[in-house]
Structure 1
Amino acid sequence: MDSSLAPAEHPETVNGALDLVLAGGPVVWLLIAMSVIALTTIIYKLVQFGMAGVGRSGNVEKAVTLYRNGNRREALAAVQSAGDPASITVATAIRGSLRTDVSEASVREEVERVATAEINTLKSHLGLLETIGSLAPLLGLLGTVLGMIQAFRAMEAAGRNVDPAILSGGIWAALLTTAAGLIVAIPVVAIASWFDRSILQVARKTEDAVTRIFTPDLTRRTESPVDEVRAAHV
């Protein structure tokens, strides 16, 4: 294919996209603004999740294993420099267990506070994505209704000299806003749902790790099976 044709095609594509936006009216411009806000928020959340180490829990498992084996200071060293919510919460629990001047109830309360704060940090700005995902289809539908009203008003004004092109042109321009609303909403809702599931997994892993810090390992056999049965009947 002749490369000299490419520059001529690009302006036509741009003009076609601009015509679609102009045909959609102010609702499409509003949806474009919402999509920009949503994209900025998504990028911010991805960077936040990456810096927080969401999905990486190897150091937490190592710390819990060391702690249950009696190596408390080594366990603290395994998580104290990490920045993910589970590591920060587990490190708080281990530091509290090393303090002899603080009761276990106070340590548990502080650990719960830290865990809640970390999870709430991960949840920040998700409400904005959920709002955009909910409003975008409604705005698209609103634009369609307004466009249909204009199309039928044009038909009424034309009287008996109705041109079918007037109606068909008004309808496709009206439906354009519904399509734009769905194009914005579908990926935003999907990505927001993924963020929610990821945060839920982090919360569950954090709760599991903290529980294992405060409770003994009852899955490990300390006696023979016969002795365990005998102890159960004493």
Structure 2
Amino acid sequence: MILLGMSVLALTLVLLKLIQFRRCRVGATRPAREALALCRAGRTEEAIERAAASPDPTSQALARALRGQQRALAEPVVREEVLRYGSNVLFELRRGLRPLEVIGSLAPLLGLLGTVLGMIEAFRQLEAAGNQVNPAILSGGIWEALLTTAVGLCVAIPVVAVLNWLERRVDHLAHEMDDVVTQAFTVDLGEGAPAAQPATFPHDTGRTVHAASLATRHA
């Protein structure tokens, strides 16, 4: 019964996490990349609109970074706000993964415990039978005992597999968010990279801020 309850709980958690990941569009990097390209082309307003229109966390983090630049805020202030947003998003996505990890670890152990208890009971019945040993009693007890281990493994294996997949998605999202936001403050210096275009912000009252100045790092 315990293993059955754990399996139901694990299935519920997995379904909830899949729905959450789908709503957040985890893994959708195209809108953020398109917005980043618009920003580097000097089309800041269009970049912010493109990033803000997508619900995926990478685009939302980029939109915050671009709004901070548009308001001429200090880079450390903008980065701190983006970091706060990213930390909250990753925390929410990781909620529920810990119980799955516990279920994946405990299910085989509970199954093994059931097997040990079943074997003890089988040998107790064998001892009580004395000279009138019935092989069916022993084999039936062993069969029932091994069944709990099989059930525990059947619960743990898919849970561990799904848990690792979800964790990889979250880790990939964290890397993608960091990479895209960092590129908003830097200039692509790779071979064949397009020349940096100036970006004009309304808050600057006519002053032109070149994208190359975004590479400046503040202590």
The TM-score, its normalising length taken from structure 2, stands at 0.85
Name the residue aligned to 1:53. 25
Q: How far, CA to CA, are the matches of 1:188 and 1:75 in structure 2?
A: 40
- Greater CA drift, 174-183 or 198-207: 198-207
Give the match for residue 121 of structure 2. 150
**1:1-234 residue pairs with structure 2 within 5 A?**
29-100=1-72, 102-219=73-190, 220=193, 222=195
Cα distance, 1:50 vs structure 2 = 0.6
Unaligned runs of 5+ in 1: 1-28, 223-234
Instruction: Answer 1 or 2: which has greater helix percent.
Output: 1
Deviations 1:89-146 (A, max 9, x none): 111111111112x311111111111111111111110111111111000000000000
Letter matched to residue 168 of structure 1:
S
What is the root-mean-square deviation in Å for CA atoms of aligned residues?
A: 1.0
Q: Which has the larger radius of gyration?
A: 1
Match of 2:215 in 1: none
Quote the offset at 1:221 in angstroms. 5.8
CA contact (8 A) 1:85 1:119 kept: no
TM-score relative to the length of structure 1: 0.80
- Give the corresponding residue for 1:231: none
Q: Can you list the C-alpha shifts for 1:59-101, whole angstroms capped at 9, x where unaligned?
A: 100110011111111110001122211111111111111112x
Q: Distance in 2 between matches of 1:108 and 1:207?
A: 10
Take 1:221 and 1:58, find their aligned partners in 2: how far apart are those partners? 19
Task: State the SS of the aligned residue for 1:138.
Answer: helix
Aligned-partner Cα distance in 1 for 2:95–2:59: 19
Gaps of 5+ in 2: 196-219
| 1:32 alignment partner AA | L
Residue correspondences, number = 193
| Distance of 1:189 and 1:208 partners within structure 2 | 28
- What residue number does 1:4 align with? none
What's the CA shift for 1:195?
0.4
Moved over 3 A (4+): none
Cα distance in 2 for residues equivalent to 1:49 and 1:105: 30
Aligned to 2:200: none
